[in-house]
Amino acid sequence: MSANILLIDDYEPTALTMKVICEEKGFSFHHAQSAQDSIKIASDTVFDLILVDINLPDKSGTDLAPQMRDLCPTAKIIGFTADKEAVEENDAGAFDSLEQKNLEVTFIEDRLNSWLYNA
């Protein structure tokens, strides 16, 4: 049940937390700190799931989503933000869904199942 996951987020504590949870669950985890990095990584690798932070250093995650869609047409692309208001006030746009960030283990395990397997 291995899947290839890319997290695009410039906050290191978030990235390490997600990496440990994903790897403990047996997934292959990749991390990009900026939109530019993510485009390079996604040009070489096929991902099943791409989690995109909204506030990236070089571009908004919302603007990056369509590019990710072109590079990885089969991936599920999720907007994943700490900004509760952004989730409440915006529709998903180019994302498959826009969700509020929560890094607690059971939440992430549950969301990974849902994002990857529609469980």
Binders in 1-20 for another protein, by CB under 8 A: 10-14, 16-17, 20
CA-closest candidate to residue 68, choices 48, 88, 90: 48
Q: Which of 30, 31, 76, 101 lies at the binding interface for another protein (CB under 8 A)?
A: 101
Using the contact rule CB under 8 A, the part of the chain among 43-51, 65-73, 96-104, 111-119 near another protein is 96-104
| Side chain identity, residue 53 | D
Size of the residue set binding another protein (CB under 8 A) = 30
Query: Considering only residues 8, 51, 56, 68, which one is a binding residue for another protein as defined by CB under 8 A?
Result: 56
Our CB check for another protein shows the closer of 17 and 97 to be 17
Residues that bind another protein (CB under 8 A): 10-14, 16-17, 20-21, 24, 34, 54-60, 81-86, 101-105, 108
